[in-house]
Structure 1
C-alpha cells in the first residue's frame, strides 16, 4: 500500500509541476503581450491550467493549492467573460501564483509540514479582493425604475 501511495504522490507531483510550468509560461505570454487586449487563446490556456491544477490538487487533498487555483480561475474567468479587464495589478497578482504553487508542491513532495498555507490564503484573498470592485461596479444600481 505504501508503494501505491508513493507512486500516486510522484505522479501527482509530476503532473502538477508540468501544469504549473505551463501556467507560468502562458502567464508570461500574457504579460509580454500587455494587458490591453489579451490573446483569447492564451487566456483560455491559462484558465485551463488553473482549472486543471484546482481539480488535481483537490483530488490529492492539497486544499491550500486548490483554493489558490480556484481564486486564480475566478479572476481569469471574469477576464475571459469580459466582466473585468486584465489590468497590470491583476496580472502582477496572477504572476505570483506559479512560484507559490511550486513551493506548495515541494512541501508535498518532501512530506514537509505545510508552511505555505498562510501565503496561499493571502494570495487567494488578494486575488478575490482585486476582483471584487470590478464585479460590484458591473452590477446595476438598484433604485426607482
Structure 2
C-alpha cells in the first residue's frame, strides 16, 4: 500500500517536470506571436492544478494508510484510535499520525508552487536558447 502511494507521488513529480517541456513544444508548433505569455498562462494553470492534486493526494494517502492499519481518526481519545492497530504497526501509525499534523495540504501546495514556479521560466529560457543555438548551427552549416 505504501509502495503504491509512493509510486503515485513519484508519478506526479515526473509529470510536473515533463509537462512544461511538452507544453512549450506544442506551443512552438503552433507558431504563436505571444508565445511567452501563452506559455506562462497555460503552464501556470496546468502545473498549479497538478500541484493541488499532488498535495491533496499526499494528505489523502496518509489518511488511507492510517485507516489501512486500523487507526480510526474519528474517535476522541488516542487509546480508542489505536485500539485496532497491531503492535508491529504501532510505531508506523504514530509516525504517520504526527506527519499529518501542522499546516494543511492547501498551504503545502502553495508553498511548493512558490519554489516550483521558477522552473517554468528555466524551461522556457532553456528551450529558447537551445532552439536559437540549433537554428544558428543550421544556418552556419548551409554556407
Q: TM-score range by the shorter chain?
A: 0.3 to 0.5
Q: TM-score, normalised by structure 1?
A: 0.33
